[in-house]
Amino acid sequence: MLSVLIAGGGLVGCVNACMFGRKGWRVTVFESRSDPRGNALEKGRSFNLALGFRAMETLKHIGILEDVIKMGVPIKQKISHQEDKEGVLENLALLKEGDFILTINRQKLSELLIQKAEGYSSVKFSFDHKAIKYDVECKKLLVESPDGSQINVDGDLILACDGAHSTIRRSLLKTPRFNFNQKYCDIGYMDLSVTIENVSELKLGIHYSWRRKGVILVALVNRDRTLTVSLFANFTVFAENCSTPEDSVLFFQRYFSLIYSIIGERHIFDTFSRYKPQAIISVLCSRHGFFDKLLLMGDAAHAMLPFQGQGANCGFEDCLVLQEILEETGEDDLKSLVKKYSEVRTNDTNMMNQMEWEGYVQLVEDLQNLNRSLGWFNKMQSSLKNRLSVWFPSKFTLAAFSRERYSEITRKHQLAQKFQLCIKTTFAIIIIIIAFMIIR
């Protein structure tokens, strides 16, 4: 029986455990935290996942998609508030009828995945066991037990799924020709999720957002009557407006009165008393495969900014791509599996990571320009842009509602940009000619 060691029992680690458990491999998952099942939901440090087509295809593969959909909330519409303006109801930019984004609590999904993985007799979870590093000398995984003792463990395949601050990745930094880059964005986040009795002001199945200069507040109603409230803001905004719990209460009272009235002063005060804004990191790696047996996966390989919702989707798809390549190479040739996975996935995920960063840059620009009124020409350009987006779906729409390779999406987007530029230029020339004729 082949064996796989998985460093990290988060979402990607658990999906991999399900995949390999289903194949009958001997699977051991090392997770530094305790078993999340039965524990209170983590507060202040998380927000709902937005699962698109890639994630849902992966969940379908392991047989739990229907259960996940029952737990989550399908989103097809959003209501956006900008500054003090009335909220505008819009449909999400979908590729086809029936598409939706599924929003779900991260911890609840994790618990379901653990339960599914443990249903296979060959899968074992070792909670409170931290994978410290990959020993490049003996080609084994070094694991620390709860009592502080350390042991080297080995498997036919080793998957590092231990998150954006991966200790396994850190142990590879001296590996020749392995380049690694990380950068933090200027926006942090706070989770103010709460269980409440009455959310009649907000409806199930709608993504609510409020935008002010340098700030985005997102609210989602969950099936279990919890309300997910996520505050994203520039760290300067946090420092100026939320430096004390009292200031935070006044900030919500002044700028987000509806949410303030729902979640209440005490909850805001307590949350900002106990937690600090969390940083958001982006990670790029020059390759994902090492030593013919070790793979970086999920955030350990490509941590992404959350603003376009592709991080979890990309991580889930990692697991599916690995299985698809395994079907091609066969279980007798793991060396080819590691090599091909790294070749295929590194380029694609790095392109998606770049898309996310570009989306963040555009988001920052939009937040800074909320108060600027558009002239008539800019308004016409904006209307034309919206029309063109119907003919040429954005790269993020293609990423969210298809499994098209990110590299192919980038290529199509570049072609679409050139065509759109031609149309806009032609449109501008026509307007100038008409204006000139009127003046004459």
Task: Write the CB contacts of 226 (distance below 8 Å, at least 6 apart in sequence).
Answer: 105, 193, 194, 195, 196
Query: Tens-digit pLDDT profile for the chain (440 aa)?
Result: 899 999 999 999 999 999 999 999 999 999 999 999 877 666 555 678 999 999 999 999 999 999 999 999 999 999 998 877 778 899 988 888 899 999 999 999 999 999 999 999 999 999 999 999 999 999 999 999 999 999 999 999 999 999 999 999 999 999 999 999 999 999 999 999 888 777 778 899 999 999 998 899 999 999 888 899 999 999 999 999 999 999 999 999 999 999 999 999 999 999 999 999 999 999 999 999 999 999 999 999 999 999 888 999 999 999 999 999 999 999 999 999 999 999 999 999 999 999 888 888 888 888 887 655 444 444 444 454 544 455 567 788 888 999 998 888 888 777 766 766 676 677 677 777 777 777 76
Nearest to 10 by CA among 414, 247, 223, 297: 297
Cα(183)–Cα(192) distance, rounded to whole angstroms?
A: 25
Please give the distance of CA 338 from its chain centroid, rounded to a whole number.
Answer: 24
pLDDT of residue 406: 87
Q: Quick one: tokens of 168?
A: 């396994």
The pTM assigned to this predicted structure is 0.89
Report the largest interatomic distance among the alpha carbons of the chain, rounded to a whole angstrom. 88
Task: Write the CB contacts of 75 (distance below 8 Å, at least 6 apart in sequence).
Answer: 50, 92, 100, 101, 102, 103, 205, 206, 207, 220
Can you give the residue ranges of every domain in the chain? 3-74+100-183+283-363, 187-274, 373-439
SS3 248: helix
143, 150 contact by CB (below 8 A): yes
- Strand 289-290 to 3-7 pairing: unpaired
pLDDT of residue 163: 96
Q: What is the DSSP letter of 5?
A: E
3-74+100-183+283-363 CATH pick, 3.40.140.10, 1.10.3720.10, 3.50.50.60, 3.40.47.40:
3.50.50.60
Instruction: Identify the residue whose tokens are 């991999």.
Output: 16
Burial per residue of 1-23, b for 16 or more beta-carbon CB atoms within 10 angstroms, e otherwise: eebbbbbbbbbbbbbbbbbbbbe
Q: Quick one: tokens of 18?
A: 């399900």
Nearest to 227 by CA among 256, 186, 251, 250: 256
pLDDT of residue 320: 98
pLDDT of residue 327: 96
Q: Which helix (H) or strand (E) holds 17?
A: helix 11-22
SS3 72: coil
Cα(115)–Cα(341) distance, rounded to whole angstroms?
A: 27
pLDDT of residue 313: 96
pLDDT of residue 141: 97
SS3 283: strand
